[in-house]
Structure 1
Amino acid sequence: MSALQFSHFTVTSCLGHGLAATSAALRAQRSGLAPCRFGDVRLRTHVGEVAGVDDAPLPAEFASFDCRNNRLARLALEQDGFAERVREAIARYGAHRIGVFLGTSTGGILETEQAYRRRDPATGALPPDFDYAHRHSPFSLPAFVRAYLGLTGPAAAISSACSSGAKVFASARRMIGAGLIDAALVGGVDSLCHTTLYGFHSLELVSAEPCRPYDARRNGISIGEGGAFGLLERLPESLPESLPESLPESLPESLPGSGAAALPDDAVLLCGVGESSDAHHMSSPHPDGLGARLAMEQALADAGLTPADIDYINLHGTATPSNDAAEGKAVLALFGTTPCSSTKGATGHTLGAAGAIEAVISALALREGWLPAGIADTELDPALPVGYLLRTGTADAGHRLRYALSNAFGFGGSNCSLLFGRADAHLQGARS
């Protein structure tokens, strides 16, 4: 399938609100994780809590959607002028021709937790003001975003655990390819709640200290929250179906139909998508990372690229012993020592939002020309000799960043890899 333009994007997490705050924190290798002070949770762990969510109730006309997850969604939508970019897209395509595909794993479950505490002492009934459909269900998120922005096209919630925020790109791409829509708002939002904090703790997967992906001493995740959104659109002009048999010795900077002249050099494209399911275990990946490898191979094939073309990999990197080991084996087998890192040491594991947040971080790094490094990693696991970055930097002299791969792997073996590229590199390659 043809590449799509990832034309506008934004991210909000414990690193801050918007792209500038995120870029500054990652460049400085500054983590947003802090000792857990969320609600009345009493766990010895670090979390990535987003500042200001409780202070931002939804406008009165959207009161039926009011919950922490949708408040966080609205906070993220209003960063980097993203909501305005969507309204401009509505003017171009029509509200009915823009789809909404969003990932979440918990939805507004905190609202249900709070309602359960207020249930009728005699009957056990939940309070009459509790609105499951608008405040808890997975579809609450896309329904709110759709209403808030005035969109009327197809909408779907993807809830496939930690791959949710990545798999939305695949769903949107298929809908655009089928001609059902012209553009899509994609992303993911997940917010802190008792269920995930105590649930992962009961699985003995939560670290007491800030998580350390791929570190020899890694011992569990740090749970975070956040939201990221992006707009996927067709390229201004599609590449021609075929080129003439003979071409002049020197080609012009942009060929008719290439779409290059209409895009800035630093524009980011979604070039390939890979999805797989290893179905090995409900909460553990295949020990050799077979599903992860299948997803990465599929993304490469989809984009018409080889492992040597990839300049950076944003690892799923949860900091649990088994997950990092499985992904590391798959990355080593395919990519060797290609530069890579997990940004979860900065943001925490944002669960259903992770795929979207890390996709935006990968796109941001491509656009700005720098390589994110791990945070809190000091002693890399010698059993996983991948090209893990311990210092944030830029590409080597004479070698610009062209392509980045972003991995998101969820419980049950739900795997998704997204391959992003700079327009100036990818379209030049297509012309060649």
Structure 2
Amino acid sequence: MAPLAVTACTATTALGAGLAAQRDALHERRGGLRRNDLPGLSLECWIGRVEGLEEAVLPPALGAWESRNHRLAWKALHQDGFAEAAAEAVARHGADRVAVVVGTSTSSIGETEHAYARMDDGRFPPAMAALRVHNPHALSDFVRLASGARGPCMTIATACSSSAKVFAHAARLLQAGAAEAAIVGGVDTLCGSVLFGFNALQLVSATPCRPFDARRDGLSLGEGGGFALLEREDAAPRALAWLAGYGESSDAHHMSTPHPQGLGARLAMQAALARAGLAPSRIGYLNMHGTATPANDAVEAQAVAALFPRELHAGSTKGWTGHTLGAAGIVESAFALLALREGELPGILNSQVPDPACGPQVNFDNARRSIDYAMNNAFGFGGNNCSLVFGRA
């Protein structure tokens, strides 16, 4: 594929707001997980909670969109000059030529939970009957309104691969000529459906998650949001980095368990490399999906070991942020872009005992080296997989 310019990028997680906060925490190996302290959601676990969302309010013009998810979206949009970059793209290309493609797994379902808890005679309280909020597409509509973009508007909801797949969908829109630029990203926030849903699947650890550790026993859930601006090379005023390739697959092995030999994961990584025109040895850093669940980590490590040379530096950043669900793809793409720019390659936080079933590519310690290409993996329920390759500007 022809590479696409990444002309702006931002991320907000439990590590803080904006790329500088992410960079500093990754470098200092300072995690953002804390004991679960969400009001009314008592579950013995650790979470990656974004500070200040409870006190945040949307501007009056956007008050009808009130939700925790939209508060985080607004906060994320206004970091690293992203809102200004998006407005400049809208002015340069025209609002109808800027697409919005955003991923989420639960959108604003937290507000729907609150409304159900306060039902009166079988109806939502009038103040909480916000139909524009109680639907899966709410986030994309909100970002469209907040950014002024009026091009194609799409929501990707493929669980944990959602905001990785937005890059692939946007690439097809740009390459088809349906838009000149695309705002891509994802936002997910913590709520009862998330905490208790994953706990019902016996996937939540009572301790901070330990990706690829021999003693790992489950994930830590987090919330996060991030955005990137994609433009065709001939229309981009500059490039922070390049989207060099993407790969998607759906092995459909099981609703929540990956293919035991990592077939879908390997197909996605191979497709991303093929679109980028790269041999596996050209990848300098791989941000693995690495959720710290026993099955998922072993399967992903097996697929990586079968494809990449042992010198690859691969790690998982979920020990820093928790698993940010539908936002994991964009958050960890931002981490891959930081690795390209800064030359600091994150390892794994909290893990101490290497799993002998995982290959030599998996590194617990950070490393420093200049790299030309980085890959990000995001794998969702139902075997819905996406891998992205980014190139240094």
| Structure-2-length-normalised TM-score | 0.98
Asked if 1:335 is matched to 2:308, the reply is: yes
How far does the alpha carbon of each residue in 1:14-33 deviate from its partner, in whole angstroms, 9 at most, with x for none? Answer: 00000001000000111100
Asked if 1:356 is matched to 2:316, the reply is: no
Q: Is the Cα–Cα contact under 8 Å of residues 328 and 386 in structure 1 kept in the other structure?
A: no
Counterpart of 1:322 in structure 2 is: 295
Task: Choose the corresponding residue for 1:190, options 183, 188, 191.
Answer: 188
Asked if 1:275 is matched to 2:245, the reply is: no
CA distance in 1, matches of 2:174, 2:392: 20
Q: Is the Cα–Cα contact under 8 Å of residues 214 and 319 in structure 1 kept in the other structure?
A: yes
Counterpart of 2:321 in structure 1 is: 347
Task: Choose the corresponding residue for 1:304, options 257, 277, 286.
Answer: 277
User: What amino acid is the match of 2:361?
Assistant: G
Counterpart of 1:244 in structure 2 is: none
Following superposition, the deviation at residue 393 of structure 1 comes to 2.3
Counterpart of 1:79 in structure 2 is: 79
CA distance in 1, matches of 2:338, 2:56: 26
Following superposition, the deviation at residue 385 of structure 1 comes to 2.0
User: What amino acid is the match of 1:291?
Assistant: G
User: What amino acid is the match of 1:322?
Assistant: A
Following superposition, the deviation at residue 132 of structure 1 comes to 5.0
Counterpart of 2:132 in structure 1 is: 134
Q: Is the Cα–Cα contact under 8 Å of residues 5 and 238 in structure 2 kept in the other structure?
A: no
User: What amino acid is the match of 1:127?
Assistant: P
How far does the alpha carbon of each residue in 1:46-79 deviate from its partner, in whole angstroms, 9 at most, with x for none? Answer: 0000001112111111111110000000000001
How far does the alpha carbon of each residue in 1:258-290 deviate from its partner, in whole angstroms, 9 at most, with x for none? Answer: x9xx757xx310000000000000000001100
Task: Choose the corresponding residue for 1:371, options 345, 349, 359.
Answer: 345
User: What amino acid is the match of 2:366?
Assistant: T
Task: Choose the corresponding residue for 1:388, options 337, 341, 362.
Answer: 362
Q: Which has the larger radius of gyration?
A: 1
Percent identity between matched residues is 53
Counterpart of 2:108 in structure 1 is: 108
How far does the alpha carbon of each residue in 1:209-247 deviate from its partner, in whole angstroms, 9 at most, with x for none? Answer: 11011010110010000101000011147xxxxxxxxxx
Q: Counterpart of 1:80 in 2: which secondary structure?
A: coil
Following superposition, the deviation at residue 390 of structure 1 comes to 2.0
CA distance in 1, matches of 2:277, 2:182: 23
Counterpart of 1:18 in structure 2 is: 18
What runs of 5+ residues in structure 1 fail to find an aligned partner?
A: 238-258, 424-432
Counterpart of 2:379 in structure 1 is: 409
Q: Is the Cα–Cα contact under 8 Å of residues 289 and 327 in structure 1 kept in the other structure?
A: yes
Counterpart of 1:430 in structure 2 is: none
User: What amino acid is the match of 1:128?
Assistant: P
CA distance in 2, matches of 1:342, 1:151: 33
Q: Which runs of 4+ in 1 moved over 3 A?
A: none
CA distance in 2, matches of 1:263, 1:45: 43
Pairs within 5 Å for 1:11-90: 11-90=11-90
Task: Choose the corresponding residue for 2:198, options 176, 197, 200.
Answer: 200
Once superposed, what is the RMSD of the aligned Cα atoms? 1.2
Following superposition, the deviation at residue 367 of structure 1 comes to 1.2
Following superposition, the deviation at residue 133 of structure 1 comes to 3.5
Counterpart of 2:392 in structure 1 is: 422
User: What amino acid is the match of 1:215?
Assistant: D
Q: Counterpart of 1:387 in 2: which secondary structure?
A: coil
Q: Is the Cα–Cα contact under 8 Å of residues 29 and 373 in structure 1 kept in the other structure?
A: no
